[in-house]
Chains A and B, each alone.
Chain A
Amino acid sequence: MKLLEVNGLTVSSPAGDLVRELSFSLEHGGALGLVGQSGAGKSLSALALCGLLPRPLRVRAGEIRLHGESIPPNDPQAWRGRRGGQIFLIFQSPASALDPVVKVGPQIAEALCETRGWHRERAQERARRLLETVALPASYAQRYPFELSGGMRQRVLIATALALRPQVLIADEPTTGLDPLNRMAVLDLLHRLRREHHTALIVISHDLRAVSALAPEILVMQHGSVVERGATSRVLARPAHAHTRELINALDLLGGRHA
């Protein structure tokens, strides 16, 4: 049985479809890349997979199966209890994903209190250890998000993922906007999560590099539809769709492909 199966997922706004017929499946410990320009529908797909689409957006058609069980995509109740432990999403912009008026430590710890029923002290202590795991001083638990840099905030999000150890982790643009050292560190952490906890990864990015480092298989999206899919090495070496070639060429022009 597959861990996650998505069949014909279609996300719509009142004005029309924004994601069309997205299908893929994922094994325990597997990894998948979702690539495309901004506006291709990657982030919306991610939100739909967690049942977090903001109104008036909704899933118009398609099926999401977790452990073989179909989850009604527009029913918020059905997702509660699955989010966090089974499927978790690291948001695109770490600056806005963290609550500005709550300290970092409690933001990590509350996930454990809520989904595992841990005591506050135990969860707080774990949060401090996890901050050290992502190479931040444990004392940063007492800081507010605005007192951290962009790279540090991204690490806090990853520490949250490490705390939850979800079966499926969706990382939306995890390395965008980070300097090279931070980027390496984040990729490494995601890799570890997959290796040590068997977390299945969905990595979303406009940056083929970030994806190719993590996922053996990728989907290329354009205007809400998947235009190409296959093994990452094959897609990079012999792109079949014009849009994939565009993305690769753009990467070459920036001199980044082999960096």
Chain B
Amino acid sequence: MRLGGAVSILKRLAYLAVVLWGVSLIAFGLFALAPGDPAEIILRDRQEAPSRESVAELRRELGLDDAVPLRYARWLGKTLKGDLGRSWQTGEPVAGELLARLGATLELALAAFGFVVICSTALGVVGAVYQGRAPDRLARAWSILSLSLPNFWLGLLLIMLLALHWGLLPLMGRGGLNHLIMPVLTLGLSIAAMQGRVLRASLLEVLGQDYVRFAHAKGLSRWAVLKRHVLKNALPPVVTMWGISLGHLLGGAVIVESIFSWPGLGKLAVDAILARDIPLVQGAVLFMALVFVLATQLADLAHQWLDPRLARGQGNQGNGRRD
């Protein structure tokens, strides 16, 4: 079994490598092949008029005249060494720019993640316990509504009411806890609603199982049944979802960071895309995809670890099956 574990880890790593290689192809290909001459863009960024000679010289300098596969190989080689190139706008190393923004994104992502976990648990448990009754309907209506609210609109509404109209919260930017409230709400509301639905479905599925009724038959208290059997069975799929949503949050909350001028990776990526600052876009995209892939993989591992059927390398034969 230990050997099987090692093989499965190797397989997983090999697969991860393939996926990341594909990611690098997309990150490189998209902008390298996109319309518009990078040399002209750079010259404009430097406030120089792009003459034919200066463009040609810059193209040579950047190696833009080489064949695409060669350019990709060169780029990949440097990337693997951690050299993501320099931003065309600022001339600073891309890796440094990314790291400088990491703290802000991390702060927002973790705060929103906490909010999502708490809210989705509350929504899911209320929905499952009061299935079909008023609290469940209310939770459901709330969920559908928050899933339908565009977060950029919600953000603007919050800014208008809480910051501008009542002056309760700071308008934008990063700072103390006050600054986190609106971005976290904007970011977390719909994700919490979605995960709450998943948790509710998962809980209901488990609550209807024979082993839950059998646990009651054994004389266990409600709380013991919930703790020892219901949550243990209902959590794994939810943990996976939580992991994926953490990946989404860490991957940069693009819109929310823009609305609230939050100096994180998402805002950096949008600004870079709009300015066609290709090295910066490539670096940001690569980084976000990497974080996202790692988060989903970790969620998957957590799921395997939580479910003994998967942990012991067996299928789920003979479970919950009625004859």
Q: Can you list, as one digit per residue, whether each of A100-132 has a CB less than 8 Å from chain B (1) or not (0)?
A: 111100000011001100000000000000000
In the bound assembly, the distance between CA atoms of A181 and B139 in angstroms comes to 52
User: Chain B: which residue is nearest A160 at the CB level?
Assistant: B218
Q: Can you list, as one digit per residue, whether each of B148-160 has a CB less than 8 Å from chain A (1) or not (0)?
A: 0000000000000
Q: Can you list, as one digit per residue, whether each of A143-163 has a CB less than 8 Å from chain B (1) or not (0)?
A: 011110010000000001000
Q: Which of A89, A100, A144, A146 has the most CB of B within 10 A?
A: A100
* B323 at interface by CB-CB < 8 Å: yes
Q: Can you list, as one digit per residue, whether each of B274-317 has a CB less than 8 Å from chain A (1) or not (0)?
A: 00000000000000000000000000000000111100101011
Which stretch, B43-51, B164-172, B206-214, touches the partner chain A? B206-214
User: Chain A: which residue is nearest B206 at the CB level?
Assistant: A99
Which stretch, B16-24, B56-64, B178-186, B221-229, touches the partner chain A? B221-229
Residues of B within 8 A of A145 (CB): 318-319
Residues of B within 8 A of A114 (CB): 218-221, 224
In the bound assembly, the distance between CA atoms of A177 and B208 in angstroms comes to 23
Residues of B within 8 A of A85 (CB): 219
* B52 at interface by CB-CB < 8 Å: no
* B233 at interface by CB-CB < 8 Å: yes
Beyond A91-B210, A99-B211, A100-B211, whether A146 also contacts B319 by CB under 8 A is yes
* A177 adjacent to B309 (CB under 8 Å): no
User: Chain A: which residue is nearest B211 at the CB level?
Assistant: A99
Beyond A110-B228, A144-B312, whether A96 also contacts B211 by CB under 8 A is yes
Residues of A within 8 A of B309 (CB): 100-101, 144, 146
In the bound assembly, the distance between CA atoms of A103 and B228 in angstroms comes to 11
* B218 adjacent to A110 (CB under 8 Å): yes
* B321 adjacent to A99 (CB under 8 Å): no
User: Chain A: which residue is nearest B219 at the CB level?
Assistant: A84
A117 to nearest B CB, angstroms? 11
* A193 at interface by CB-CB < 8 Å: no
* B11 at interface by CB-CB < 8 Å: no
User: Chain A: which residue is nearest B209 at the CB level?
Assistant: A96
* B216 adjacent to A52 (CB under 8 Å): yes
Beyond A100-B211, A101-B232, whether A146 also contacts B314 by CB under 8 A is yes
In the bound assembly, the distance between CA atoms of A146 and B323 in angstroms comes to 16
* A100 adjacent to B323 (CB under 8 Å): no
In the bound assembly, the distance between CA atoms of A98 and B210 in angstroms comes to 8
Task: Out of B210, B314, B323, name the residue touching A97 (CB < 8 Å).
Answer: B210
* A136 at interface by CB-CB < 8 Å: no
Give the number of chain B interface residues (Cβ < 8 Å): 33
* A93 adjacent to B219 (CB under 8 Å): no
User: Chain A: which residue is nearest B215 at the CB level?
Assistant: A99
A109 to nearest B CB, angstroms? 10
Beyond A97-B214, A102-B228, A102-B232, whether A111 also contacts B219 by CB under 8 A is yes
A193 to nearest B CB, angstroms? 16
* B214 adjacent to A91 (CB under 8 Å): yes
* A80 at interface by CB-CB < 8 Å: yes
Q: Which of B214, B220, B222, B224 has the most CB of A within 10 A?
A: B214
Residues of A within 8 A of B321 (CB): 93, 95-96
Residues of B within 8 A of A50 (CB): 216-217
Residues of A within 8 A of B320 (CB): 95-96, 100
Beyond A102-B232, A146-B317, A146-B319, whether A88 also contacts B211 by CB under 8 A is no
* B213 adjacent to A111 (CB under 8 Å): no
* B322 at interface by CB-CB < 8 Å: yes
User: Chain A: which residue is nearest B307 at the CB level?
Assistant: A101
Task: Out of A91, A97, A164, name the residue touching B219 (CB < 8 Å).
Answer: A164
Residues of A within 8 A of B322 (CB): 93, 96
User: Chain B: which residue is nearest A144 at the CB level?
Assistant: B308
Residues of B within 8 A of A99 (CB): 211, 215, 228-229, 232-233
Residues of B within 8 A of A177 (CB): 323
In the bound assembly, the distance between CA atoms of A110 and B217 in angstroms comes to 12
* B211 adjacent to A97 (CB under 8 Å): yes
Task: Out of A81, A82, A91, A146, name the residue touching B213 (CB < 8 Å).
Answer: A91
In the bound assembly, the distance between CA atoms of A54 and B214 in angstroms comes to 12
* B232 adjacent to A115 (CB under 8 Å): no
* A101 adjacent to B308 (CB under 8 Å): yes
* A191 at interface by CB-CB < 8 Å: no
A38 to nearest B CB, angstroms? 10
Contact residues of A with B, CB < 8 Å? 47, 50, 52, 54, 80-85, 88-89, 91, 93, 95-103, 110-111, 114-115, 144-147, 150, 160, 164, 176-177
For the complex of A and B, the 3 pairs showing the least CB-CB separation, nearest first, are A84-B219, A96-B210, A111-B218
Residue pairs across A and B with Cβ atoms less than 8 A apart, 17 shown, are A83-B216, A84-B217, A93-B321, A95-B318, A96-B319, A97-B211, A100-B308, A100-B320, A101-B309, A114-B218, A114-B221, A114-B224, A146-B309, A146-B316, A146-B317, A146-B319, A177-B323
| Beyond A96-B209, A102-B228, A110-B220, 6 additional pairs, beta carbon < 8 A | A80-B221, A85-B219, A114-B220, A114-B221, A145-B319, A147-B314
